Amino acid sequence: MLSKNRPVDSRRSVLLPDGTVAPGAKSRMEEEFLLEALRWMMKSRLYDQRVIALQRQGEFGVYSPGMGQEASIIGSAMAVDPARDWMVPQYRELMATVHHGLPLEVITAQYLGKIGPARIPDGVRVLPTQVSIAAQLPHATGLAWGLRLRGEDSVVIAYIGDGGSSEGDFHEALNLAGVVKAPIVFFLQNNQWAISTSRRVQSATRSFALRAAGYGLEGAEVDGNDVMAVFDVTSEAIARARSGGGPTLIEAVTYRMGFHNTTDNPSRYQDPKEYEEARSRDPIERVQKYLAALGLWDAKREAALTEELRDENERALQLARSASVPRPEDVFANVYQDPPPRLVRQKAELLDGHDA
């Protein structure tokens, strides 16, 4: 029997919750790079805080913050090359897509209901956020497969959640990726929740990374609150994919420190103790502690950077706000290259205030 209790190879970890490095652990991430990571993680947290406030005032669309998951989001994004690699998000990786070249004002414009201004600019190798859970994974596999067929040396990183891992699309996409040797890394953020549904009832598996073997992929589990380990594991997987070594499934074990989205109320289902415990493993604080111990971080620097990032975020928000608002006829935009006569007529009817 293949026991369900066979051990998982250990969860990769470098930077411990207290800001010290695990005994014997080493990372590819140098200090300067880590400061850069911290910058992005803080930017993400600050953006979340800002737009949640805005949403409460009715100005922002339904929004899912990445709070608590910044190490996963940024550590993975820093391992891919925006100039040649592609990123396929679900929806909670907003700042990863920004790191990958999507201007913050563009993705912000999307949440403000804009159309044209929310278009991903040409040349930015990011697919749109995906609300239909796991539907992005077959796309990602096809994209990676196609890049290989076209002889490009690009790799795809595709995001998915613990909830999304239960969808049939997850299975089909990973299996196909193994068969066609697609250059792809599936990055599963296990944040312990799918809305109110606990990881414990999402699957009886001990580790989602164990699924890799069932598709002939490499698998890895990593402390998703440890930006150094996330970066390392993802970098290795990307390098392997790029050199023809096939796909990897990475499970980043993290915790959703916010609500599911701005319509959610976790107090109905979340144990406050669990939440408090998760806070003690905050991915940002541990980096700050680590850098502080090296003399590279202190309250002053934090205040300065916070202000700088707030300004950056605010500029993006202003740009998004001032971008053109949708016109009624945008209902008909971007459906077909050449709209069929029926649509042309419907559009005219809408504009005339008439109907069919």
Partner 1 sequence: MTQRNIVEAINSALAEEMEADPRVMVLGLDVGKLGGVFRTTSGLVERFGAERVVDTPLAEASIIGASLGLAIAGMVPVAEIQFLGFTAQGFHQLGPQLGKYRQRSRGRYHCQVTIRAPFGGGIKSPEFHSDAVEAQFVQTPGIKIVMPSNPYDAKGLLLEAIRDPDPVLYCEPDRLYRAGRSEVPDSAYTVPFGKAAVVREGEHVTLVAWSAAVELCMRAAEKLAVEGVSATVVDLRTLVPLDVETLCAQVVKTGRCVIVHEAPLSAGFGAEISATLMEEVFYDLDAPVGRVTAFDVPFPAASLEDHYLPSLDRVVAAVRRTMES
Find the binding residues for ligand TPP in span 187-246 (CB under 6 A): 191, 193-195
* Residue 290, H or E segment: helix 283-293
Are 55 and 63 a contacting pair, CB within 8 Å?
yes
Binders in 156-175 for Mg ion, by CB under 5 A:
161-163
With binding defined as CB under 6 A, does residue 136 bind ligand TPP? Answer: no
**What does the DSSP assignment read for 194-232?**
ETTEEHHHH-S-S-GGGGGGGGT-EEEEEETT-HHHHHH
With binding defined as CB under 8 A, does residue 173 bind partner 1? Answer: yes
Are 64 and 90 a contacting pair, CB within 8 Å?
no
Structure-token match 């999307």, residue found:
110
Binders in 150-169 for partner 1, by CB under 8 A:
150, 163-164, 166-169
295: CB partners within 8 A, 6+ apart: none
Shorter beta-carbon distance to Mg ion: residue 86 or 193: 193
Instruction: By CB under 8 A, name the one of 23, 122, 151, 204 that touches its own copies.
Output: 204
Cα–Cα distance, 290 to 276 (Å, whole number):
21
Structure-token match 């293949």, residue found:
2
Binders in 266-285 for partner 1, by CB under 8 A:
268-269
With binding defined as CB under 8 A, does residue 175 bind its own copies? Answer: yes
Cα–Cα distance, 30 to 261 (Å, whole number):
34
Q: Which two tokens stand for residue 69?
A: 């998951």
- Region of 201-209, 224-232, 278-286, 315-323 interacting with partner 1 (CB under 8 A): 201-209
With binding defined as CB under 6 A, does residue 68 bind ligand TPP? Answer: no
Instruction: By CB under 8 A, name the one of 17, 116, 216, 245 that touches partner 1.
Output: 116
- Region of 54-62, 84-92, 199-207, 337-345 interacting with its own copies (CB under 8 A): 199-207
With binding defined as CB under 8 A, does residue 224 bind its own copies? Answer: no
Catalog residues that contact ligand TPP under the rule CB under 6 A: 64, 92, 131-133, 161-164, 191, 193-195, 256, 260
